[in-house]
A and B are shown apart, each in its own frame.
Chain A
Amino acid sequence: MTNNTDMEHHSEISHNRYNVLIEFAHIHLEFQRPELESVLSLHDIAIGRDCIEVPLPSSIPTVENYRPFLILSFDYHYAKEKFNLDDDGYVIQSDMSRFSKIDRTKPTIASVLSRCTLIRSAIELWGAGPSFDSCVEHARQLSSGCAGRITLENCMKLSSSWKITIHTLGTKFNREEQNDMRMKFAFFNLPGKVQMVNPTNEFLLIREVELDPKGTPLSQERDNFLSPPLAVYYGRVLGGIRDWRGNGRLDQFSLKKRSYLGPTSMDAELSLIMTNLGLVRNGSFCFDPFVGTGSILLTCGLRGGYCVGTDIDIRVLRGRSDEENVLSNFKQFRLNRPDLIRSDNALYHRHYRMNKPIYDVIVTDPPYGIRAGARKSGTKEEKIRAIPEDRRHDHIAQTKVYPVSDVMGDLLDVSARTLVMGGRLVYIIPSMRDFDVEKDLPNHECLEIAHVCYQPLQTELGRRVVVMKKVKEYDPSLRESYLSSVWINGPESAEKCANIRERLLEAAKLKPGYEEKAAYRKKRRQITREEKKKQRAKHV
């Protein structure tokens, strides 16, 4: 690499601006930017308008693999007005209110960004470059920029103890080598002493290398020669903690700890991301029309939303017992109870008055027939029998199969009608690889797609989280027209997610060992049935 190219990269990260380097976890790749954009918008910050994204320095002209880093650059005066740049106390507590409260009065950057489930850490960027030396050089020029100078001055004032942590993404360096690296930044002459445990300031020196699609560093050593890094960064850790995703932060909400779970309970991480994508905050009016065991609704509650959930299945709403139901999950996290109603989303307009839009967010995992088939009111029988009067009031009405194309059509139509303007619908749709995002997603004239994020589950199957925004007022007289234009490609698109169960089964049958597995599962089911019979016989 010639010096000229180095300088080009440098000059884009200006010390006249306040720069932040974000490091993402290496999962849910497609969700990272949408989640970040959503969380920033909660504070009325837009990338492109209030800050810019600066390209990462790179020692290789084109990097094919994903890089879990992002640099946001703020105008210094904007940053000073908007954020509390001085205070960097420990924001990553296990206090749950942190998940919900949006601090509008000069929050720290860490408290804004730490709301993103997928961000590992953020640093105030003091130097960056495509090589170690260029990073050091860039850092030397920190005080030559107006923002850099103030940043350095402030740090000097506040720093009573500090340390430099080296993050080498898998490459091993011995102690001597590490100290050499640290010494290169000694020119800053920071006051105070080096302290390994809980220093006032922690500095991070990151040696970025290229990662493979799974997040593992590509082989670094070839013929005993260590490949050069992709980029090197140096800066001050924000939020007081190097790794925001550690410390059992997510663990509190982990499925394992909840009292009531079902086969389709959404994993905690995805729920947290979905509620960020939906912009759920304190006082958001949240609705889940297919609430099931309430795992997504629980996350809305954790973020301070007022929660309403409906489902056609009374058993799942009432749960297994007084200690194991949707309400007990909320109680477990000391949240106010949600409102649950047994109703049919296919008949939403009949159960609920819709003269005024009320929901801020509708967030749900609709039933697709993979693990929980969808039902709607009505019976598949030809002759409709009236229920005798004395049995009426507690009769569990029959339900019939609810085709996926209708599930989605109704979901979009109900959302378009009941969301406030700008309100968001966030839903999950399973898709095979051959899904055409442009043409196969359901549409509605009143809703616009904001994000589509893909999560691969198996080689053939993944799921997409779709985020839609209400952009147009709903006209009830156009209901039929809205519903008939949900699928651009017609029923074929709906079929793609509707028949996933059959297609999965077909694909599984072709795999080796299928016969054995099926026989094994059948045997286990038989054993369980016999056990249950014995249990029941005992109790008689």
Chain B
Amino acid sequence: MRLLTHNYMQSTVKGTERGYPLKIEATKIEFEASPFDAEFIQALLPKIDYTTLLFALKQISENGNADLAQTIIPELPESIKEDGEGEVDEALLKKLHTVMFDIHVVEGELVCPDTGRRFNIKMGIPNMILHADEL
């Protein structure tokens, strides 16, 4: 699961309205570099929730493989600054690309911030199916 995908996932177990964003408790993360396209990342920015991205990044850095975290995961600023033409500095775009696309949570759990309901992640695939009594 990439952090970009996590960005729009939520929990809506019966009774909760505040199932976003999901907490990430990663037990195994992997890094896989992918081709960088500045234009694509720039176009993607309005579609994501940056606060959630920072939140997710913090979670990953804290648990999961500490070594991996330190060597590869970049730091992101509190907010994204655009220049006069609404464009973001390329170095920052590269970091954003790495954070959104190249970090994969392979094993772990997603936790609903409200109900505490846990959704497991195995082989990188989160299992979000609700049980009959949660619908």
- Interface residues, chain A, with chain B CB atoms under 8 Å away: 282-283, 285, 306, 308, 312, 314, 317-318, 325, 327, 336-337, 339-344, 347, 350-354, 356-358, 377-379, 381, 384-387, 392-399
Contact indicator B46/A356 (Cβ below 8 Å): yes
Contact indicator B32/A337 (Cβ below 8 Å): yes
Residues of chain A within 8 A (CB-CB) of B135 are 347, 377-378
15 additional A-B pairs beyond A340-B125, A344-B128, A397-B131, beta carbons within 8 Å, are A314-B129, A325-B123, A336-B32, A339-B4, A341-B9, A342-B126, A343-B128, A350-B10, A352-B9, A353-B9, A353-B20, A358-B47, A386-B133, A393-B120, A394-B120
**Proximity string of chain B (48-67) to chain A, C-beta cutoff 8 Å, 1 when within and 0 when not:** 01000000000000000000
Residue of B10, B109, B125 near A341 (CB, 8 A) is: B125
Residues of chain B within 8 A (CB-CB) of A327 are 123-124
Binds A, one of B34-42, B69-77, B87-95: B34-42
Decide yes or no whether B104 CB sits under 8 A from chain A.
yes
> How many B residues, CB 8 Å from partner?
39
- When A and B form their complex, which 8 residue pairs have the shortest distance between CB atoms, in order from nearest? A283-B40, A350-B12, A343-B128, A336-B34, A339-B5, A379-B132, A342-B127, A397-B129
What's the nearest-Cβ distance from chain B to residue A328, in Å? 11
Residues of chain A within 8 A (CB-CB) of B122 are 318
Residues of chain B within 8 A (CB-CB) of A377 are 129-130, 132, 135
**Proximity string of chain B (1-34) to chain A, C-beta cutoff 8 Å, 1 when within and 0 when not:** 1101100111010000000100000000000101
Residues of chain B within 8 A (CB-CB) of A387 are 131, 133
Residues of chain B within 8 A (CB-CB) of A394 are 120, 127
**Proximity string of chain B (103-135) to chain A, C-beta cutoff 8 Å, 1 when within and 0 when not:** 010000100000000111011111111111101
- How far, in whole Å, are A344 and B132 apart by their CA atoms in the complex? 13
Tell whether A393 pairs with B118 under 8 Å between CB atoms, given A314-B127, A340-B125, A342-B127: yes
Q: Which residue of A lies closest to B39 (CB)?
A: A283
Contact indicator A318/B129 (Cβ below 8 Å): no
- How far, in whole Å, are A325 and B130 apart by their CA atoms in the complex? 24
Contact indicator B130/A308 (Cβ below 8 Å): no
Contact indicator A341/B104 (Cβ below 8 Å): no
- How far, in whole Å, are A344 and B128 apart by their CA atoms in the complex? 8
What's the nearest-Cβ distance from chain A to residue B42, in Å? 11
- How far, in whole Å, are A387 and B117 apart by their CA atoms in the complex? 13
Contact indicator A308/B129 (Cβ below 8 Å): no
Residue of B34, B101, B128, B132 near A351 (CB, 8 A) is: B128
Residues of chain B within 8 A (CB-CB) of A306 are 101
What's the nearest-Cβ distance from chain A to residue B60, in Å? 15
What's the nearest-Cβ distance from chain A to residue B75, in Å? 23
Q: Which residue of A lies closest to B9 (CB)?
A: A352
What's the nearest-Cβ distance from chain B to residue A161, in Å? 39
22 A-B pairs within 8 Å (CB atoms) are namely A283-B40, A283-B43, A314-B125, A314-B127, A318-B122, A327-B124, A336-B101, A337-B124, A342-B125, A342-B129, A347-B130, A351-B128, A352-B10, A353-B9, A357-B47, A377-B129, A386-B133, A387-B133, A393-B118, A393-B120, A397-B132, A399-B129
Residues of chain A within 8 A (CB-CB) of B43 are 283
